[in-house]
Amino acid sequence: MKEIILCKYGEIVLKGANRKYFEDMLCREIRKRTKAYGSFDVYRAQSTIYIEASDDGADFDGMFDAARKVFGIVSVSRAAVCDKNIDAISDTVRNYIPDYLSEAKTFKVEAKRSDKTFPLDSMEISREIGGVVLECCPKISVDVHKPDVVVKVEIREFGAYVSAGVFKGAGGMPVGSNGKGLLLLSGGIDSPVAGYMLAKRGVKLEAVHFESFPYTSERAKEKVLDLARLVAVYAGDIKVHIVSLTHIQEELVKHCDEDYFTLLLRRYMMTIAEKVARDNGCGALITGESVGQVASQTMQALGVTDAAVNIPVFRPCIGLDKEEIVQISRQINTFETSILPYEDCCTVFTPKHPKTRPELTKVLVQEQKLNFDELVEEALGTLYTEYITAEY
């Protein structure tokens, strides 16, 4: 029996004249991911992408799991393929469906007839196949409102497809379909979630990480690269640019009032990130900030840091509370890595009483105690890049 993976996409169908562009991009991303699992054919028709193993050695189960992590796909199902006649469909249901219903108490059949030449309509197909299911699974009953399992029969261009159970896909838009952004990636919980959320909207990610060696360890940097690898499972390959802030932080401690350390450091980080973004074709910065979560994330503090750059700053976590962010981090498997006890640069030289309602004019007075442009250029001189290859 031939088995195939069916991937349904959502908002792409609303793209009008640009729809083919998004469909082609989505197919390319899926084809890229098939390489890790063997030889597969990928093609599309009627708002569905078909993934079909082209040899017996292909890892079908692995590819099924990988398809669920592709942004742009809203649902994924395994289906048996057969000829477009009711006898062939009935035989396929008898041989393929019982295993999927072994633990279910109720079911219903949903039929879709995209090929209007098929002699039975959707209601007739559902009735016919419902009888077949009851015949081969006598302990199960019909529940058309809240069934444990939905058996689907789809009459499509290339054949008839029988499936039981639909799995949620990653949703969103194909990565790269909405430009490129630079993620400020720390070792915390929030920034990997922010990167995931923007990648879900079709933004291709690069990242910048700020280190403070020797105040932060080599292991702290490796933790961040591990986080990038986990995000890359969804977002694809990621370049991580690493910049040292050690000298800037030491100069802040020597010359500026302690209450302003965090704000001033954030302005340096944003300015450096903007330069890295422009040098790498990124149209926006992405941060994991949530309003009011810490002193540097009050409305006034965010205004002060944004004033340092002339590029859009996306904050997808801005309205989420910590528990909501943690929930997403668990979903994408970054939480356990994020909570490893290795400090990042933001925890070094933290003031006891940071300003929560800063005034930009007063912040600029503090900033003028240092040669801002010179320190920025010096920090950029420490930049080096790690290339993270997605492991699907």
| Residue, of 46 and 351, whose pLDDT is higher | 46
Read off the pTM.
0.89
Average pLDDT value for residue range 133-156: 92
Which pLDDT belongs to residue 342? Answer: 67
Mean pLDDT, rounded, of the chain: 91
Residue 372 host element (H or E) = helix 372-380
Average pLDDT value for residue range 124-135: 94
Residue 304 host element (H or E) = helix 299-306
Q: List, in order of start, the domains of the chain with CATH numbers.
A: 3-168 (3.30.2130.30), 180-388 (3.40.50.620)
When mean pLDDT is compared over 134-138, 278-282, 339-343, 346-350, the highest value belongs to: 278-282
Q: Each residue of 97-122: pLDDT tens digit?
A: 999 998 899 999 999 998 889 999 99
Q: Which two tokens stand for residue 169?
A: 């896909």
H helix runs in 42-153, sequence order: 60-67, 86-96, 122-136
**Cα of 26 vs its chain's centroid, Å:** 14
Residue 328 has pLDDT above 70, yes or no: yes
Which amino acid is present at 42?
V
What is the percent of the chain where pLDDT is above 90? 74
Which amino acid is present at 3?
E
Average pLDDT value for residue range 228-239: 96
Which pLDDT belongs to residue 270? Answer: 96
Q: Each residue of 297-307: pLDDT tens digit?
A: 888 889 999 99
Q: Each residue of 202-232: pLDDT tens digit?
A: 999 999 999 988 887 888 899 999 999 999 9
Residues in the chain: 392
Q: Which two tokens stand for residue 46?
A: 């009627």
**Cα of 134 vs its chain's centroid, Å:** 40
Q: Which two tokens stand for residue 286?
A: 């992405």
Which pLDDT belongs to residue 353? Answer: 66
Rounded Cα distance, 109 and 132, in Å: 10
Residue 345 has pLDDT above 60, yes or no: no
